[in-house]
Structure 1
Amino acid sequence: MVKYFIPLILIVFIGCKESNTPKSTYFGGKIINPKCNFVTLSDSYNFNDTIPLEKNNTFLGHYDNLKEGLYVFEHGPEHQYVYIQPSDSILIRLNTWDFDESLVFSGNNAERNNLLIESFLQYEQDEKNIAKYFHLPQNKFVHKIDSLQNIKKEIFNRYKENNDDASEKFLSILDIALQYPLYTNLEKYAIKNATQDEPEVLADSYYDYRKKAHIDKDSLMFFGAYYRFVIEKIYNDVYQKNCLNKSDNFTVDLFHSIDKNIASEEIKNKMLYNAVISHFFKEPNHKKKDETFFTFFKLNTNNKQKKAVQRIINDLKLLNTGEKLPSFNLIASDGEFVDVQNISKGKNTVILFKNYKYASDDWVSSRFNFLVKNNPDVNFILVNLCDSSKRYTKNVDIKYQYTLPKGSSTCNYSSSKFSRLVLVDKGGIIRNGYTSLSALNINQEINNLQKNK
Structure 2
Amino acid sequence: MIKYIVPFLIFILFIGCNEREISKKTSFGGKIINPKCSYVTLSNNSNFNDTIYLKKDNSFLGSYNKFKKGLYMFKHGPEHQYVYLEPNDSLLFRLNTWNFDESLVFSGEKAEVNNLLIEAFLQNELDEKSFSKFHNLNQRNFLKKTDSIKRLKETIINDYKNSTNNVSKEYIDILKIALLYPVYTNSEKYAIKNFSSEKPEILVDSYFDYRKDIDSTKDSLIFFGPYYNYIVNKLYNDVYLKKDNKDNFTINLLNNINSSISSEEIKNKFLYNTVIQHFFKEPNHKNINKMFFNFFKLNSDIEQKKNVQRLINDLKLLKEEEPLPSFDLVAATGNIKNISKLIKGKNTVILFKDYKYASDEWIASRTNYLMKKNTDVTFIIINLCATSKRYTKKIAIKYQYTLPNKSKVCSFSSSSFPRVILVNKKGIIKNGYTSLSSKEIESQISNLRNSK
> What TM-score do you get using the length of structure 1 for normalisation?
0.95
Q: Does 2:11 align with 1:4?
A: yes
The question of whether the paired residues in 1 share the 8 Å contact of 2:383 and 2:403 is answered with yes
Equivalence for 1:123: 124
Partner of 1:446: 445
Q: Shift of the alpha carbon at 1:37? A: 2.1
The residue number in structure 2 matching 1:427 is: 426
**Is contact 1:40-1:49 (8 Å) kept?**
yes
Cα deviations by residue, 1:311-334 (Å, 9 ceiling, x for unpaired): 111111111111011111112233
Matched residue, 2:296: 297
Alpha-carbon contact 1:386-1:411 (below 8 Å) kept: no
Counterparts in 2 of 1:356-375, with a 5 A limit? 356-375=355-374
Distance 1:67 1:335 in 2: 55
| Deviation of 1:335 (Å) | 2.5
Aligned counterparts of 1:349 and 1:152: Cα–Cα separation in 2 = 52
SS at match of 2:271: helix
8 Å CA contact retained: 1:353, 1:414: yes
**Aligned amino acid, residue 35 of structure 2:** P
Alpha-carbon offset, residue 397 of structure 1: 1.4
Give, in angstroms, the shift of residue 245 of structure 1.
Answer: 2.7
**8 Å contact kept, 2:84–2:110:** no
Structure 1 residue identity aligned to 2:208:
Y
Aligned match of 1:150:
151
Question: Alignment identity in percent?
Answer: 58
Mapped contact 1:388–1:406 kept (Cα < 8 A): no
| CA distance in structure 2 between the partners assigned to 1:441 and 1:184 by the alignment | 27
The SS at the match of 2:208 is helix
Tell me the secondary structure at the aligned position of residue 450 of structure 2: coil
Query: Equivalents in 2 of 1:360, 1:17: separation in Å?
Result: 40
Equivalent AA in structure 2 for residue 144 of structure 1 = K
Unpaired runs of at least 5, structure 2: 1-9
Q: What is the identity, as a one-letter code, of the residue corresponding to 2:131?
A: I
CA contact (8 A) 1:27 1:61 kept: yes
Between stretches 45-54 and 88-97, larger displacement belongs to 45-54
The equivalent residue for 1:309 is 308
Q: Deviations over 1:247-298 (max 9, x none)?
A: 4211110000000000000000000011001000000111111110011011
In structure 1, the residue matched to 2:60 is 59
Q: CA deviation at 1:6?
A: 4.1
Alignment of 1:379-418 (within 5 A): 379-418=378-417
**C-alpha distance in 1 between matches for 2:417 and 2:48:** 32
Tell me, in whole angstroms, the C-alpha distance in 2 between the residues paired with 1:76 and 1:221: 21
What's the Cα RMSD here?
1.6
Secondary structure of 1:70's aligned partner:
strand
1:13 corresponds to 2:19: yes
SS at match of 1:122: helix
Asked if the contact 2:350/2:379 (under 8 Å) is kept, the reply is yes
The structural deviation recorded for 1:201 is: 0.7
Going from structure 1 to structure 2, the CA distance change for 1:267 and 1:90 (only over 3 Å counts) comes to: same
Deviates more, 1:258-267 or 1:120-129: 120-129
The alpha-carbon deviation at position 52 of structure 1 amounts to: 2.1
Q: Which residue of 2 aligns with 1:28?
A: 29
Is the contact between residue 12 and residue 31 of structure 2 (CA under 8 Å) also seen in structure 1?
Answer: no
The CA deviation at 1:5 is: 3.5
Distance 1:159 1:181 in 2: 19
Give the distance between the partners of 1:428 and 1:274, measured in 2 at CA: 34
> Secondary structure of 2:350's match?
strand
- 1:36 offset after TM fit, Å? 2.2
Following the alignment from structure 2 to structure 1, what is the Cα–Cα distance between the partners of residues 385 and 56?
37
CA distance in 1, matches of 2:156, 2:219: 26
Corresponding residue for residue 39 of structure 2: 38
Q: How does 1:125-274 map to 2 (within 5 A)?
A: 125-241=126-242, 244-274=243-273
- Alpha-carbon shift at residue 77 of structure 1 (Å): 2.1
Does 1:352 pair with 2:335? Answer: no
- When structure 1 is superposed on structure 2, of 255-264 and 56-65 the one drifting more is 56-65
1:85 to partner: Cα distance:
1.5
What is the count of residue pairs matched by the alignment? Answer: 443
**Partners in 2 of 1:9 and 1:176 — Cα distance?**
39
TM-score scaled by structure 2?
A: 0.95
CA drift at 1:240: 2.1
Structure 1 residue 425, shift from structure 2 partner: 0.9
Amino acid paired to 1:182? V
Q: 1:346: Cα distance to partner?
A: 1.1
Tell me if structure 1 keeps the 8 A contact 2:250–2:291. yes
Q: 1:91-149 CA deviation, whole Å, 9 max, x = no partner?
A: 01111222111111001220000000010111111111100111100010011101111
What is the CA-CA distance between 1:361 and the residue it aligns to?
A: 1.1
Aligned ranges 1:315-334 → 2 under 5 Å:
315-334=314-333
Q: Distance in 1 between matches of 2:309 and 2:22?
A: 56
Q: CA deviation at 1:9?
A: 8.1
Q: d(CA) in 2 for partners of 1:5 and 1:421?
A: 51
Once the two structures are TM-superposed, the CA of residue 64 in structure 1 deviates from its matched residue by 2.7
